[in-house]
Amino acid sequence: MTGTIETIEQQLLSEQQLAERVRELAQQLDRDYAGKRPLLVVVLKGSAIFAADLMRQMSSDLEVDFIGTSSYGDATESSGHVRIVKDIEASLQGRDVLLVEDIGDTGLTLDYLLRTLSLREPASLKICALLDKPSRRRVSIPVDYVGFSIEDHFVIGYGLDYASRYRNLPYVGVLSLKPA
Ligand code: 5GP
């Protein structure tokens, strides 16, 4: 609202590209979790739209829970400090847990979640991220399922925000921020 001009520079991923890739990921997950009852742990808030589409394309006998982490505030750079602001209600013990994340950037959030949730003794713990920015990684994390690997852009839409806005865009776009 003050001092910067926000422009959606380009549409990076169209609604159709997203839908197609989400369907492919769902099919792969159905195959990999065949005969199991995965617990999808959706990382709020950015993954909400991706997760809603993903789970409706899956035919597995799955359960879903939500976890909230603090990340950026209004800036576009991670503070490096991650904390859980809303915890899961389900027990993870003995469960096949799939963390559903919007984007892997520095890797700090997913690294923290992996370390914290593995202490709760799940049978397996994997990560599915819609987007990945491998060039930004500060800690190495195993992202088992990736929708799209992207360049180092700040992206918004399809659940991803800038200062709590743009989540409702049906596509993923690149946001440019310039001083006014
Ligand atoms: P990390 O801990 O990997 O640096 O960042 C993870 C979180 O930062 C993501 O879950 C997401 O909320 C946010 N984030 C990272 N890159 C972007 C981006 O390009 N756009 C938006 N909107 N959020 C991002």
CA 72 to chain centre: 14
Q: Which of 161, 125, 133 is nearest to 48 (CA)?
A: 161
pTM value is 0.94
Q: Which of 129, 106, 125 is nearest to 117 (CA)?
A: 125
Q: So which residues are the catalytic ones?
A: 105
SS3 84: strand
CA 45 to chain centre: 9
* Mutational test site, ligand 1, from 160, 168, 177, max ligand atoms within 8 Å of CB: 160
Supply the pLDDT for residue 1. Answer: 56
Q: Tell me the average pLDDT across 138-157.
A: 96
Ligand 1 pocket, Cβ-based, cut-off 6 angstroms:
46, 71-72, 78, 101-109, 154-156, 160-162
Rounded to the nearest integer, the mean pLDDT of the chain is: 94
Q: Tell me the average pLDDT across 35-63.
A: 98
180 — pLDDT class (breaks 50, 70, 90): confident
- CA distance linking residue 152 with residue 133, whole number of Å: 6
C-beta of residue 63 within 8 angstroms of C-beta of residue 94: no
Q: CB burial class (10 A; 0-12, 13-18, 19+) of residue 98?
A: buried
119 — pLDDT class (breaks 50, 70, 90): very high
- Render pLDDT for 71-97 as a digit per residue (tens, 0 to 9): 654 556 666 678 899 999 999 999 999
160 CA closest ligand 1 atom index = 22
Q: Tell me the average pLDDT across 28-42.
A: 98
